[in-house]
Every structure is written in structure tokens, then in C-alpha cells.
């Protein structure tokens, strides 16, 4: 069976043969990951060379069928959402490049687990699988391209993991994660999330919400106070009188025969708080002098309207994906008061 996809008119294309039927894929800076179908539980890795050439680097087995996956250039790790025995798991595969060199050793550890220095020689030559347990099933994932932090979308909340570099000794540094923040979002099931430099984009079928986590100054002893709630405005009842039995209203009976579609909405800046999506922050790290505290800033809310043309299908209209990319500025390093800073060019 041949499947056709509508793509942008690129100048050329390359056909990459796979050993197994591909189910999911993602790209890194110079690598391509292809997850096989549920029966094989393997990920094939290809190196992207000049002029679009792809060279097979090898493959490695996953602990379960892959539902979603993403690669982070910062830290060079692959994070997956896998399913096994009707349960979903969040896992990160680090040091996966050793698999292409022929090593078959794998270390499975829990997030935050301290590794003994005696295992340093073995860890250099084996892939590590980091298990990250969650109270709710993960639905979508996104890696920050700047610092490698991980954002996981669950029902009514987002969970942020910070990428950590654990120094075992002078010759070995391991990647690890620390759950640092939970964003509680009422009545929202995210379809896709994007994460970049403390900017967060969340999509549902037709809605997009973009937030920013702002650093605030706060004392370390107020551990449970690092939360900001944005309450939704109260809805007024038309005419100030609530109908005791609205189902018997003649207008209601006529509306049941129609499909009601919401109008497109776009709210920018402070007005985006009127989207009636409250967000509450919960810090999950132990308080120290270096603990970072955040507050939520609303940047954009956009609701798209489904296609009403005769050739459109309203029930199938939904957003496909969302992506946030960093923007860099050119500059030069100058010394100011014995400190090196970047002087930005106009």
C-alpha cells in the first residue's frame, strides 16, 4: 500500500528505506529517528549528510510501542511516549549513539537516581533509559531547543522537567532530569505543545494559547506560595434572569436542528486573559537560594473557525501541529567591568 502526503514544493526528495514498517518519526540537527510499528518496538537511526544523503547508523529497541517521540539537540537525547499493557510511559534515551557503534548494553534507571562512581566505566559504553513516572498519562511532549528542558502535556496540566548534567567524575557526566514545575490548566486537554526559552504554546482542536514563564523575585521559604491563578471572568445570564426550564424554550428546540460553530477569536497581550483558561503554577523542587520562581504571562489566544465552504468538512477541521523556534541576534563580545557581555548590533 502506498500512502501519499501533501507537502510543500521542495526542490528534491530522498527515499529512505526502512527495515520495518514506519509508524512515527522525528528529526534532530543531523539525525533522523524512525519508530517502527507496534510489533517490532524498535527505532532506526539515520545520519543526514550533505546533499540530503541519509546513512543508517543502527537501531535500538524500545521498552514498548512508541506513540510519540521528540529529539533534543541540547543533551542529544530522544524522549518517547510508549504504551505497554494499556498504560503509557514517558522515557528518555540518552547516550544512544553508542548503539550505532555495536554496543548492546542498556541501563534502565529512574529519574533522579544517583549513580555510583563504580559504574562509571560501564556507563561510558551503554545507552541509558531514564524512566519518568507521571500521575497522569502523557499526551504530548516538546523539548526546548535552547537548554534541552522537557515539557509534557497531560489532561488539565503541563509538567516541566529541567535537564541536568550529573558529574560522576572528571571523565564522566550523565544526563538526568528534575521535575521542577507543574502548570495546572482547568478544562483543557492539550493536543500538541511547544516549548522554547520559557515560552509555551498549547493547542487543542481549534484553539492556540501562548504563555510565557516570567522570573520573579521571591523568598525561598515560601515554597507553597509560588503559584499564580488567573480566574475566568464570570458569565452573565442574558437579561439577568435564569430560565428555570431552558429545554422547553421554543428557540432552543429550533437550534437543536442546526450546527453551531464559534466565530474566530484573536486576543493579544493582556486581552488574552479573557480566554477563560485559568493557569496555576505549582513548584515541585526543594527550595534553595537558587530556586527560580515564575509567574504566567499571557501572550496570545487564537481560536480558528472551521471551514464553512461547501467543499469543507467541519467535523474534520482541526489544527495539525505547533512549533516555537528561537531567534538569535548577531553581536560581538566586549568587556564591561571585567565581565564579558554581548553587544547587540542594530
Report residue 312 as a C-alpha cell: 469543507
Decide: 150 and 79 in contact? Cβ < 8 Å: yes
pLDDT grade for 145, boundaries at 50, 70 and 90: very high
Decide: 59 and 35 in contact? Cβ < 8 Å: no
Percentage of the chain beyond pLDDT 70 is 72
CA distances to 53, 99, 128, 129 from 125, rounded to whole Å, are 28, 9, 10, 13
Domain assignment present for 42: no
Domain assignment present for 37: no
CA-atom Rg of the chain in angstroms:
24
Residue for grid cell 477563560 = 276
Question: What is the predicted pLDDT for the residue at 326?
Answer: 87
- How crowded is residue 203: how many other Cβ atoms within 10 Å of its Cβ? 23
Domain assignment present for 322: yes
pLDDT grade for 114, boundaries at 50, 70 and 90: confident
State yes or no: pLDDT of 232 exceeds 70. Answer: no
Strand partners, 209: 202, 301
CA distances to 94, 124, 177, 178, 248 from 108, rounded to whole Å, are 10, 14, 14, 17, 61
State yes or no: pLDDT of 239 exceeds 50. Answer: no
Domain assignment present for 35: no
Give CA 1 to chain center in angstroms. Answer: 32
Model pLDDT for residues 166-180, shown as the tens digit of each residue: 888 777 888 999 999
Q: How far is Cα 222 from Cα 287, in angstroms, rounded to an integer?
A: 8
Q: What angle do CA 164, 73, 192 make, to 5 degrees?
A: 90
269-274: average pLDDT: 89
Question: What is the predicted pLDDT for the residue at 164?
Answer: 93
Domain assignment present for 232: no
Strand partners, 108: 129
Residue for grid cell 514563564 = 213
pLDDT grade for 325, boundaries at 50, 70 and 90: confident
pTM: 0.79
Q: Annotate the chain with three-state secondary structure.
A: CCCCCCCCCCCCCCCCCCCCCEEEEEECCCEEEEEECCCCCEEEEEEECHHHCEEEEEEEECCCCEEEEEEECCCCEEEEEEEECCEEEEEEEECCHHHHCCCCCEEEEECCCCCCHHHHHHHCCCEEEEECCCCCCCCEEEECCCCCCEEEEECCEEEEEEEEEEEEECCEEEEEEEEEEEEEECCCCCCEEEEECCEEEEECCCEEEEEEEEEECCCCCCHHHCCCCCCCCCCCCHHHCCCCCHHHCHHHHHHCCCCCCCCCEEEEHHHHHHHCCCEEEEECCCCCCCCCEEEEEEEEEEECCCCCCCCCCHHHCCCCCCCCCCCCCCEEEEEECCEEEEEECC
Q: Which of 60-64, 146-150, 264-268, 284-288 has the lowest mean pLDDT?
A: 284-288
212-218: average pLDDT: 85
Number of domains in the chain: 1
Write out the residue range of the structural domain in which residue 101 sits.
Answer: 62-218+259-344
Phi-psi region of 136 (alpha: psi -120 to 50; beta: other; left: phi over 0): beta
Amino acid at each position: 500500500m502506498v500512502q501519499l502526503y501533501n507537502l510543500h514544493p521542495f526542490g528534491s526528495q530522498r527515499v529512505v528505506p526502512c527495515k520495518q514498517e514506519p509508524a512515527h518519526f522525528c528529526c534532530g540537527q543531523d539525525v533522523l529517528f524512525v519508530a517502527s510499528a507496534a510489533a517490532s518496538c524498535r527505532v532506526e537511526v539515520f545520519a543526514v549528510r550533505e546533499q540530503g544523503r541519509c546513512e543508517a547508523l543502527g537501531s535500538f529497541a524500545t521498552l514498548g510501542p512508541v506513540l510519540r517521540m521528540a529529539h533534543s539537540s541540547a543533551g542529544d537525547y530522544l524522549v518517547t511516549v510508549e504504551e505497554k499493557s494499556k498504560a503509557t510511559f514517558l522515557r528518555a534515551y540518552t547516550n544512544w549513539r553508542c548503539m550505532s557503534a555495536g554496543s548492546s548494553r542498556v541501563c534502565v534507571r529512574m529519574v533522579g537516581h544517583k549513580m555510583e562512581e563504580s559504574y562509571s566505566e560501564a556507563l561510558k559504553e551503554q545507552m541509558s533509559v531514564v524512566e519518568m513516572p507521571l500521575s497522569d498519562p502523557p499526551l504530548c511532549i516538546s523539548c526546548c531547543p535552547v537548554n534541552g528542558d522537557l515539557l509534557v502535556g497531560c489532561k488539565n496540566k503541563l509538567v516541566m522537567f529541567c535537564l541536568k548534567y550529573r558529574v560522576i567524575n572528571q571523565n564522566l557526566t550523565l544526563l538526568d532530569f528534575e521535575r521542577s514545575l507543574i502548570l495546572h490548566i482547568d478544562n483543557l486537554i492539550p493536543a500538541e505543545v511547544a516549548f522554547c526559552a520559557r515560552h509555551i504554546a498549547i493547542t487543542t482542536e481549534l484553539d492556540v494559547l501562548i504563555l510565557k514563564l516570567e522570573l520573579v523575585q521571591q523568598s525561598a521559604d515560601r515554597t507553597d506560595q509560588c503559584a499564580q491563578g488567573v480566574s475566568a471572568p464570570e458569565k452573565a445570564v442574558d437579561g439577568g434572569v435564569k430560565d428555570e426550564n431552558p429545554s422547553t424554550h421554543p428557540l432552543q428546540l429550533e437550534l437543536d436542528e442546526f450546527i453551531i460553530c464559534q466565530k474566530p477569536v484573536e486576543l493579544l497581550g493582556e486581552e488574552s486573559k479573557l480566554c477563560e483558561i485559568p493557569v496555576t503554577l505549582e513548584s515541585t523542587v526543594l527550595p534553595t537560594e537558587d530556586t527560580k520562581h515564575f509567574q504566567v504571562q499571557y501572550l496570545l489566544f487564537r481560536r480558528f473557525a472551521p471551514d464553512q465552504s461547501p467543499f469543507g468538512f467541519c467535523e474534520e477541521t482541526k489544527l495539525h501541529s505547533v512549533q516555537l523556534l528561537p531567534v538569535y541576534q548577531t553581536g560581538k563580545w566586549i568587556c564591561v567591568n571585567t565581565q564579558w557581555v554581548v553587544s547587540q548590533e542594530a
